Structure 1
Amino acid sequence: MTNEEIKTLHQKIAEGGKIAVAQAIARHRKLGEEIAVWQDGKVVILEADRIPFKNDC
């Protein structure tokens, strides 16, 4: 596998991960489930209505 192929594969994997996270967050919000996030060195629980909207898929 060439360096260019590895770079392309890495980009596809990273994009897939971002999409999966966005979908999971959107699902939690839709179902009214809280999520745990890392904020200022601590774990913070966000209620569904406090989950920020970002690029949902």
Structure 2
Amino acid sequence: MNEHQRLSSKITPAIQARIAQAIERHRKLGESIAIWRDGKVVILEAAQIPKMSVEQQETTAPD
């Protein structure tokens, strides 16, 4: 594994966790989000946003 792969393997899970936290925050606050689906931008209302699991929200980065 080269240096780029080692760094990427550490950063990617942290980024994914932060994205999950942001999505869950939008859902809890009743805010919509925009996603890309079938080549189009789609707005999901808070009720349409799936609940993110605890494992997806764990991160070592501070709030």
Determine if the TM-score, normalized by the shorter chain, exceeds 0.5: yes
1:45 is paired with a residue of what secondary structure? strand
Distance 1:24 1:12 in 2: 19
Name which structure has the greater RCO, CA cutoff 8 Å, separation 6+.
2
Percent identity over paired residues = 55
Query: How many pairs does the alignment contain?
Result: 55
Q: Looking at CA atoms only, which structure, 1 or 2, has the larger radius of gyration?
A: 1
TM-score (norm: length of structure 2): 0.76
Structure 1 regions of 5+ residues with no counterpart?
none
Structure 2 regions of 5+ residues with no counterpart?
58-63
Distance 1:36 1:28 in 2: 11
The aligned residue for residue 44 of structure 2 is 46
TM-score (norm: length of structure 1): 0.83
Q: How large is the Cα RMSD of the aligned pairs?
A: 1.6
